[in-house]
A and B are shown apart, each in its own frame.
Chain A
């Protein structure tokens, strides 16, 4: 017993006054070898005795830890409750496209939030001077204050005589509002974080500020304004440009091209990664571009902020794999910056984190003697090489880690032009940093694992890869057990390019288990700046480490169909849950590592191996897989795919389809006028492409309907929510079909009527008849396995379906369910037809337009990887790949910092005069601009009406209390009756009121 030897130990010293502090928490139910001992006197001696005792490992002084609550905000628009009142709001669909470029910090709610959240004030970490926390003062003391660096702030403007700024070189307006001033406070705040010189200090007070007003006070902005403003920024030779804005449309080519043009002109672009977290696949453009520094947000306790958008990039889907973004993270929650007119306020959002980095970059640029060396690539290299990795957070959340200003200073000041890689190594075993790679080992026969590495080239705006990248397996470390194929940008421009490494297991390791290592060697060349014809070259190594396991059995392997998932951009593919009116587009990529991440994690925890098919169905070996999983597919199918799938299922492959709604009337209803592109947007499919799916499954006598259903129900003791799904219209007679009572949402959307339909067939299970053939499971709604807007998950159902498809084990909870209904065979109900005049062919990989008719294209060839010829090495890799992969030949010791102190916590007390200037962070709204335009009008109107109404109510109550001058008049019996009735019905306010007629 612990207390016994503690008392023996203490008896030998002269401590008399001590006690063991009892544990009064739930953990005390469990045994522990840990005790808290309180000693009142002779502490030193008794401590030594305790430490010397053979049974006591360690004695540490007790510290009490106080932490603030980390709940972000109650007003995060999670699932709305089913209050039945929403039906009237369908009209607001027409408003406009919320997914335009938005400024990334604020919903309007924030700016009006004064005191609404006062109760939360004490719980929050006290906002601190972000420049001092990042130790900018060390660089200030060395005389670097950002002088000579031109910073552009693209935002909502800045008022002329703001007391915080001393070097505003120019203010320009690119909007249609005739003002240069900031009417929102966003632009002022951002400019303040970069360059404020008093109160809440910015990073680079002496930098030359160029204010570009590209957002109106209504937060409107257009691509064309940006194009002209960017041109001006190039003309003015801006060095650093902060864009605290973003939007999901990475296919806005004029904008994306213009951002490339800017960085090609040596403008260092810093941009906010987006406020759409914690959902994955929510990166915003332009921060998701390789040449831009994309910044995510953390709080002052180094947790990734909930709002910060998560990777991966979705440009590369379905054939490739996303890049790692954000690049770095920094403080973006409760940061203090300049208030709109004066004073300071605190604000949250990635649009706060972005100017923190932009300010740091400005300050860093001013420390470099030879400014020629500072370019978008070298700055980004310095930032990511110096970033401090946060423990327990994966790379799609934190990028390379947290900004470390002083280390970046050291690196930048000993920098010489070179190429580097991001990520700088591939360790598929390292968890959690290398999630999702580390979550599933690779095996022979699996789809190649693709790692999309970004090459940063600090040597010049344009570069190329010399010869070919070389794959060098380490023979002592089983490097020959893997095959590697490499594809890369033909030209690295501007400053960057990709290097996609596909890793596959060699045949000889089909039943081998272990770790294999090697590296890829890349040489990058750029034209030299200072002598004609010469070239600068730089060689980088990309270490590779993978875990190989024997190929799992077929039944354990699930194939996710990515090829048939389409998304915004470019087309209007509507949400799968029609209630989510503020987020009408399906834009997260529908990948197992973006918005189906939870489902993927669940399947992994259940022991399934999930692979992704980024090519047509004709391109995989079905004998390897137990189940093909098709969720929320929007794409059409090649006739060859239909035939092949049928053959595969006859040969034992099983199929699970999670469909979604498709109703042409509803699709017409959810069209809207997009103010960003100034045209009407009509969806090209429903939630899923049901007519195409019906073509695929019709051979088995199955079809989905164009019904649109919604509602809560219980299935096999699980609470379920059906969020805008379709029903099963046809199913083979010997199949099992489950029906539920659901609301007809189509009727609700179209006519605002509520009707409950009984026995809507939503789930079907079917064993195809031939010998050894596979099974098919259909479910009408995908929302319950999708992370975006999910209310109740149905992973249990997916498990049950996989049990059925993979092992032919019929889930008894479903077969014996009371909800079983006879399979629908009704031919009276017509199947859904494709919406006439839809433009799916514009975005489809399958369809093309032939004189107004849409026909399938010829089937494309399956992707073919050419494996790199290995050049085996007889060496071993260092055990820690990360530490060894920093920038090449940077001598950190050369750059010494004066009194470079380690982290000093600086909790700055509130000075009395300042306090009222503080604003309370009202939490982050996913701040969608259009939402506001769409809804501010009714809000205004409603407020106005409320004011008027309350005025009258006050009048009425006054009238009641005041003795009224009565005019003599004859009361008519009719009137009396009326009045009496009134009195009976509503006793309180109107009682006793006499009308003054």
Chain B
């Protein structure tokens, strides 16, 4: 009886309500946090629609010498031009193309690349990715996997840009955010992320 009367008092009810409110708020907020932290959930959410990519594979024209080349710009020692040649920086011509006659220039070279499409040197990854026979692989990637990168691959315009972007390390390259899945072969033109190496 005492208990029942106690329960009818306003302040008791108030305290009970306040406590439940606290519990409710903490638990919902905590849950929210968990779902926010989870990236995969988000990626699944998008899976119903395909991204529209506008890559034009300008195949065949990569064999003829171009007047002006784009190249991979960033390399410490090597560069890859849009024709798929890898050369040393000193062998780069004024027009941005590799000097194809230089002894170390090679086209479509997959040096340092593994079977899963991951390479340890970025420039070789780009060159390998530019091989004409990689087109099917890249199209499959654009149709299926690229949405994980959100905006990135919708803005890519051609084969060279696609390879430059695809070979870069990305959200797919890391585990625990601050370590590479595979610090040896981290530049991938293929569909799968780098093979996970044990710590």
Contacts and interface: CB of A to CB of B under 8 A. Distances in A.
Given A937-B25, A952-B14, A228 B94 contact: no
Interface stretch (B84-92, B107-115, B130-138): B84-92
Given A223-B174, A249-B178, A252-B177, A494 B152 contact: no
A140 interface: no
Contacts of B60: none
B73 A532 contact: no
Contacts of A997: 5, 8
B103 interface: no
A257 B18 contact: no
Interface in B43-78: 73-77
Interface stretch (A442-450, A626-634, A676-684): A676-684
A533 B99 CA distance: 10
Nearest to A251: B178
A264 B39 contact: no
Contacts of A938: 26
B73 A944 contact: no
Nearest to B35: A176
A151 B44 CA distance: 32
A254 B155 contact: no
A454 B94 CA distance: 30
B170 to A, nearest CB: 5
Given A172-B151, A265-B74, A462-B75, A532 B165 contact: no
Contacts, number: 161
B140 interface: no
B164 to A, nearest CB: 8
Contacts of B11: 952, 956
Given A228-B150, A530-B94, A533-B90, A948 B17 contact: yes
A941 interface: yes
B37 interface: yes
A676 B174 CA distance: 12
B21 interface: yes
A449 to B, nearest CB: 31
A677 B176 contact: yes
Contacts of A533: 90-91
A995 B12 CA distance: 12
A227 B170 CA distance: 5
Contacts of B90: 527, 532-533
Interface residues of B, number: 55
B90 to A, nearest CB: 5
Given A252-B178, A462-B75, A933-B33, A945 B168 contact: no
Interface in A940-954: 940-942, 944-945, 948-949, 951-952
A234 B26 CA distance: 41
Contacts of B33: 218, 675, 933
A236 B155 contact: yes
Given A225-B171, A228-B150, A949-B18, A527 B92 contact: yes
A220 B36 contact: yes
Contacts of A220: 36-37
Contact of B76 (A252, A491, A679, A936): A491
B73 A462 contact: no
A254 B73 contact: no
From A227, A955, A956, name the one whose CB has the most chain B CB atoms within 10 angstroms: A227
A173 interface: yes
A942 B33 CA distance: 18
Nearest to A972: B1
A172 B155 CA distance: 12
Nearest to A946: B18
A949 B176 CA distance: 43
Nearest to A945: B18
Given A264-B73, A997-B5, A254 B152 contact: no
A228 B92 contact: no
B93 A532 contact: yes
Contacts of A232: 151-152, 155
B162 to A, nearest CB: 10
A532 B92 contact: yes
A956 B164 CA distance: 70
A291 to B, nearest CB: 11
A224 interface: yes
Contact of B178 (A231, A253, A842, A942): A253
B180 interface: yes
Contact of B179 (A254, A494, A952, A955): A254
A887 B84 CA distance: 39
B161 interface: yes
B106 to A, nearest CB: 17
Contacts of B92: 527, 532
B89 A462 contact: yes
A757 to B, nearest CB: 36
Contacts of B8: 995, 997
A949 B14 CA distance: 7
Contacts of B15: 949
Contacts of A532: 90-94, 99
Given A253-B183, A948-B21, A955 B176 contact: no
A222 interface: yes
A708 to B, nearest CB: 29
Nearest to B30: A937
A641 interface: no
A176 B39 contact: yes
A672 to B, nearest CB: 14
Nearest to A262: B74
A173 B152 CA distance: 11
Contacts of A530: 94
B77 A462 contact: yes
Interface string A923-946: 000000000010011101110110
Interface in A516-556: 527, 530-533
A396 to B, nearest CB: 26
B156 interface: yes
B94 to A, nearest CB: 5
A258 interface: yes
B21 A945 contact: yes
A944 B26 CA distance: 11
A235 interface: yes
Contact of B156 (A235, A678, A937): A235
B39 A527 contact: no
Contacts of A494: 74, 76
A199 interface: no
A224 B18 contact: no
A461 interface: yes
Interface in A885-913: none
A678 B176 contact: yes
A220 B39 CA distance: 12
A255 interface: yes
A176 B42 contact: yes
Contacts of B42: 176
Given A176-B39, A261-B168, A224 B177 contact: yes
A424 interface: no
A234 B168 contact: yes
A216 interface: yes
Give 10 nearest A-B pairs by CB, closest first: A224-B171, A264-B74, A952-B14, A252-B178, A677-B176, A941-B22, A223-B177, A945-B18, A493-B76, A527-B89
25 contacts: A172-B150, A172-B151, A222-B39, A223-B177, A228-B171, A231-B149, A234-B165, A235-B155, A235-B161, A251-B178, A252-B178, A253-B178, A253-B179, A258-B169, A265-B74, A461-B73, A461-B74, A532-B92, A532-B94, A533-B90, A533-B91, A677-B178, A842-B199, A944-B21, A944-B25
Interface of A: 172-174, 176-177, 216, 218, 220, 222-225, 227-228, 231-232, 234-236, 249, 251-255, 257-258, 261, 264-266, 461-462, 491, 493-494, 527, 530-533, 675-679, 842, 933, 936-938, 940-942, 944-945, 948-949, 951-952, 955-956, 959, 995, 997
Given A228-B149, A232-B152, 8 more contacts: A216-B36, A235-B165, A675-B37, A676-B177, A944-B18, A951-B14, A952-B10, A955-B10
